[in-house]
Chain A
Amino acid sequence: MTAREDLNVLAWGRVHRGRHFVSDPATRNGVGAAIRETAEAGASTLAHGLGRSYGDSGLNLGGGLVRTTGLDRLIAFDRAAGIVRADAGLSLDALLRVTVPAGWFVPVTPGTKFVTLGGAVANDVHGKNHHLAGTFGSHVTRFGLWRSDRGEIECAPDENADLFALTIGGFGLTGVITWVEVRLERIASAMLEVENIPVDDLDAFFSLSERSDSWPFTVAWVDTLARGERLGRGIFSRGRWAGNGGLNPHRSGGPRLPLDAPGGLLNSLTVGAFNRLYRARPGARFHGRQHYDPFFYPLDRLRDWNRMYGSRGFYQWQCAIPTAHMREAVRVLLDTVAASGDASFLAVLKTFGDAPSPGVLSFPMSGATLALDFANRGADTLSLLSRLDRVVAEAGGRLYPAKDGRLPQAMFRAGFPRWTELEAARDPILMSSFWRRMTEEA
């Protein structure tokens, strides 16, 4: 086998794209060969899951990629204890189809089920329950890691503990994760009790957030066009697992967006109309039951929704701000966006809890997180993003590399001061476009 040349591997934001030498191992035992052959063709290589990272952290432009989606098998599922061990390329989408009917759910889920277990570990992903459950990595009991210098090893809190901690949130640089074992959460049904509550401003958001601490799932959608007194208005959503309602897993996906939307469907006019409609729709005041699929994964209903931004793609930007400065910083950030007139289609605000992650370079920190996305309008967009960066830097916060494709080196190093430990533990053959930018000397 030799690696295949693929001229156009895309990151989810579609701004970053380009040539890679790709291999698709069919079993875990094929990972070693895939690493070798892709690194031979491309000088270095990197694991790549379902490509749901927005920027350049899942790419290795000009280099090799080991695509893990063929490693999609379960290894063992203990239905009594709720512990599942599976190949690193298995998606949450596929996993939930098996575990939900048995009464188990992933303990932490991002806003899409089309991510692999390996990707969930490598970015130590968080979900709507971060304030209670912490990150995905907090529930990982063990995993297999293939390193070019050591072959396949096992990592756990008490075995290769340093690599365990550096791989969780390690951006795929410590080795290729071959399998993951994770402790699931018991559910009595596939339904959630959900309350959507309109909030009028930022203070209302923070106080409702505090009062909702006992709700395992909370998040808010924010109208980025609202200014002045209305700044921060939006819809606060909270949910908890229902006690009954059946254990039916989700069904397979809805329609796909077949082509890039012409010129980007999303400009501030349409975003404004959408935001008003969104707040006015009956769902804005919804109190009732919802299946986990629309509750956790509303965007999964339109596959390839990222094409809505047209052929130039878009930037996603997500920050974490420590508690001490979160109110002020979020206010300034939203002000900056509103003043720019460059509306963000999706603006998501949530408070993070203080549960520590085992991951050394994990993104969440106790405080608040704000996620925004912007159509790529070249220099204008980049300059807006660097204005937002400055606010975060001053507040002592950090940016999420999974969502970012232009995160400046200094900003990264300040936000993740222990990055040198990752560089020291990096598998010498692994590299990403993101890591090249973060480590190259000016």
Chain B
Amino acid sequence: MAAINRILVLGATSAIAERWCRLRAAAGDSFLLVARDGDKLAAIAADLTARGATVGTSTEDLADTADADTRFSRWTGTLGGIDTVFLAYGILGDQQEAQSDTAALARGLQANFTSAVVWCELAARAFELAGAGTLVAISSVAGDRGRRTNYAYGAAKAGLSTYLEGMAHRFAGTEITVICVKPGFVATPMTAHIDGRDGPLWATPDQVAEDIEKAVRKRRPEIYTRWFWRFVMLVIRHLPRPIFNKMKI
């Protein structure tokens, strides 16, 4: 039997995060769930509790990094130490809006990049003190190459991916694991407005959660989920510019 894990979930209302927590709940793990939608958070907490987990919640805006150090220590205190940090929140935003509304552009970067790496760095500090820990953060395949339809979001995720890559490098050979998760298309509330979500490229949040859990067990620094996105993105990254420029992706 593995010891009970103390898990901090940032953006616990994310469909992917919720499904991953369910995978862990039966093992009796202890969670602190943080998100900004208190109603949904309470429903998720009740569910995980009924499944066997110990659950606390905190309703906070995670894009806001004011008093970040104090808040992070408060979370650590509540859990009595942290073994795992799972960072899942993010906003897809609208590329057109980002191009015409500078405040929206800045909001996206603050949510998907700036605040995210602040929490990652605080997690790293806590793990360094404890000598061990696992950081899982959800980035995106969108960060692998800038595309006209979503480069504002993509650039923020690229920044997050690079940050995590650097951290994984820093902690190589230690008891600290850093995992960058790159999902492709996932049918979650974030993509509810998109048609054709039952197509072959789409995954369910359950499938993604299972892929993530596998990566955690194997301590993989980077995963694409579903797996084929590694190859899809390999191709997209290497498309010659003249061809790439003709594509409406």
Contact = CB atoms under 8 A, between A and B. Distances in A.
Nearest to B40: A27
Contact of B50 (A24, A74, A101): A74
Contact of A73 (B26, B44, B193): B44
A77 interface: yes
A76 B50 CA distance: 5
Nearest to A98: B51
Interface string A54-80: 000000000000000000011111000
A26 B189 contact: yes
A27 B192 contact: no
B47 A75 contact: yes
B26 A74 contact: no
B47 A73 contact: yes
B43 interface: yes
Contact of A98 (B26, B40, B44): B26
Nearest to B206: A252
Interface string B33-46: 00000011001101
A74 B51 contact: yes
B161 to A, nearest CB: 28
Interface in A75-93: 75-77, 84, 86-87
A270 interface: no
Interface in B47-63: 47, 50-51
Contacts of B51: 74, 77, 98
A28 B43 contact: yes
Nearest to A23: B192
A26 B50 contact: no
Contacts of A76: 46, 50
A45 to B, nearest CB: 18
Nearest to B25: A98
Interface in B189-242: 189, 192-193
A75 B40 contact: no
A77 B50 contact: yes
B40 A26 contact: yes
Contact of B46 (A4, A26, A73, A98): A73
Given A73-B44, A101-B26, A27 B50 contact: no
A98 B50 contact: yes
Most buried by B among A4, A26, A28, A84: A26
Contacts of A75: 46-47, 50
A87 B47 CA distance: 10
Contact of B43 (A4, A27, A84, A98): A27
A229 B46 CA distance: 59
A386 interface: no
Contacts of B46: 73-76
A388 B248 CA distance: 56
Contacts of B43: 27-28, 73, 87
A31 B26 CA distance: 28
A29 interface: yes
15 contacts: A4-B192, A26-B40, A26-B189, A27-B39, A27-B43, A28-B43, A73-B43, A73-B47, A74-B51, A76-B46, A77-B50, A77-B51, A84-B50, A86-B50, A98-B50
Given A4-B193, A75-B47, A77-B50, 20 more contacts: A4-B192, A24-B192, A27-B39, A27-B40, A27-B43, A73-B44, A73-B46, A74-B46, A74-B47, A74-B50, A74-B51, A75-B46, A75-B50, A76-B50, A77-B51, A86-B50, A87-B43, A98-B26, A98-B50, A98-B51
